[in-house]
Amino acid sequence: MTTKNLFPALNRNSETPAAARRNRMAWTERARHLVQFGFAAFMLYLSVVHNTATDEATTASIDALCPFGGLETLWKFISTGGQFISKTHLSNVILGLGLLIGVLLTGGAFCGWVCPFGALQDALSWIRRKLHIRPIQVSDRVDRILRYGRFVVLALILYQTISLVKLWFADGDPYRTLFGLGWLFEFNLTESWLAYAVAIVVIVASLFVERAWCRYACPLGGAISLIGNLSVLRIRRSSDACKGCSVCQAPCPVKLPVATASTISSNCIGCLACVEACPRHGALEVKLAPTWFDGLRNLRKAAG
């Protein structure tokens, strides 16, 4: 066994650029999956505690721990001076406000680093690769059209929730179905067949199309994408440094046209895979978004 094998850390300076890049990609991916796993495990733990509690009123349900619930209950909260839709709580508003701040700062990083359902979809993609299942390739034109589905679902949910004054989407929400653990503690096919059917369809779709739910149907993802246009930090591509190799596009979980964009779309989930994969220094970097950067530059000029 060589010294290089015994002490790999001492030989990093001798790594080729390609090997160094692969190493960075691997460590960033490990860190992201570790954070995802932590949040997913925490939500599952809270669901177990809630479902096994002798008095459910003493423990929070998954409904009260979802930032999207803050958006769903927002209209009633404002219009009634502090009342909430059933199954929502002040915690939803607080989490929603925290997510709003996070999106304004870092765009869709919540989807790539925090969301438990995003972690599940990444796990399904890992399973697909391990089983050597060929993924379904969605054409660029179809992909652009299907991405509008998130906004349709978002608009429909908000309209129905405001009209009916209840969590209209709760019974069909795959995140709630899977992470609420009702299928484990209170399995009821007669009453919950729709929830199970939606969850199964989403799981199967995400097994063959990477992050299918995130890309085409997630209402929270749709809201994040809209607000993300105002985010302070965005991934930007320098056309001067970029050599047009398109290496950056291959690892993107949501299949964005990274190699041709100047500022990466607000659909970006902030996984940083493209940045780490890029072989050219300075071609892809996390920077202040153009509008923010220009505003700060103008303020500096005015002050100086």
Give pLDDT tens digits for 111-131: 999 999 999 999 999 999 999
Cβ contacts of residue 194 below 8 Å, gap of 6+? 171, 172
**What is the dihedral angle through the alpha carbons of 266, 140, 202, 148, rounded to the nearest 10 degrees?**
50
Report CA-CA distances (Å) from 302 to 165, 273, 293, 299: 49, 38, 14, 5
Locus of tokens 């927002």: 74
Cβ within 8 Å of residue 205, ≥6 positions away: 212, 213
Quote the tokens at residue 35: 């954070």
Asked if residue 257 lies in contact with residue 143, where contact means CB atoms within 8 angstroms, the answer is no
| Distance spanning both ends of the chain, measured CA to CA | 62
Percent of the chain with pLDDT over 90: 79
How far apart CA 262 and CA 223 sit, in angstroms, is 22
Burial bucket for residue 160 (CB in 10 Å: 0-12, 13-18, 19+): middle
Residues pairing with 287 in the sheet: 234
Kindly write down the DSSP assignment for every residue of 174-207, as one continuous string.
Answer: HHHHHHS-HHHHS--HHHHHHHHHHHHHHHHHHH
Query: What pLDDT was estimated at residue 2?
Result: 45
Q: pLDDT for 146-204, tens place per residue?
A: 999 999 999 999 999 999 999 999 999 999 999 999 999 999 999 999 999 999 999 99
Q: Is the pLDDT assigned to residue 7 strictly greater than 60?
A: no
**pTM of the predicted model, to two decimals?**
0.88
Residue pair 122/36 in contact (Cβ under 8 Å)? The answer is yes
Residue 56 predicted with pLDDT over 90: no
Question: In the prediction, which pLDDT does 101 show?
Answer: 97
- The pLDDT of residue 264: 93
Alpha-helix runs per DSSP H in the chain:
3-6, 17-52, 67-72, 74-79, 90-106, 109-113, 116-130, 140-146, 149-164, 174-179, 182-185, 189-208, 212-216, 219-228, 273-277, 290-303
pLDDT digits (tens, 9 = 90+) for 220-231: 999 999 999 999
Longest Cα–Cα distance of the chain, Å, equals 72
Confidence of residue 25 (pLDDT cuts 50, 70, 90): confident
Q: In whole angstroms, what is the distance from residue 18 CA to residue 44 CA?
A: 39
Residue type, 65: L
Which is nearest to 231 in space by CA: 262, 264, 275? 264
The whole-angstrom separation of Cα 81 and Cα 74 is 10
> pLDDT tier at 298 (50, 70, 90 boundaries)?
low
